[in-house]
Amino acid sequence: MSYGSKRVVTGAHYGLRDWLAQRITGALFALFTLIVLAEVVFTSGPLGYEGWAGIFAPQWMKALTFAVFIAIAYHIWIGMRDIWMDYVKPVGIRLTLHVFTIVWLVGCLGWAVQVLWRL
């Protein structure tokens, strides 16, 4: 029985959804790495501040980077939640770690997005 007062309050979405999401978000980040790497390689001359910041300047790159940041945050959430679920059994401690993970992630995500959009 896993409903009512016996409901499991921390867990995965049991099955395909997270498994697939983990692969799609991971593949997206691999692709993003390739794009940034290509931009770095095709920058003429040494990559100084101008060249590096220039990669993230176009609007399409900002939009793509923003989407990838969200994707990777979700990827990290699934991965960290799996780690906690495997090693931490007491529900109270696990829930605390889940909350810490979300605060840590959302905080970093907000910072990264701010850096990106004020460029």
Partner 1 sequence: MTELSKKRPEFRNINAFKDLTTYRLPLAGWVSILHRASGGLMFLLLPLIVWLFDTSVSSEISHDVFQSAFSGGIGFVPGWFMKLVALALIWAYLHHLIAGLRHLYMDVNHAVSKEFGQSSAIFTLALSIGLTLILGAKLFGLY
- Can you give the binding site for partner 1, defined by CB under 8 A? 23, 26-27, 30, 33, 48-49, 52-53, 56, 76, 79-80, 83, 101, 104-105, 107-108, 111-112, 115, 118-119
Q: Quote the least distance from Cβ 79 to partner 1, whole Å.
A: 5
Q: What is d(CA 113, CA 90) in angstroms, rounded to the nearest whole number?
A: 34
Q: Quote the least distance from Cβ 10 to partner 1, whole Å.
A: 18
Nearer to partner 1, 10 or 79 (CB): 79
Q: Quote the least distance from Cβ 106 to partner 1, whole Å.
A: 11
Nearer to partner 1, 1 or 54 (CB): 54
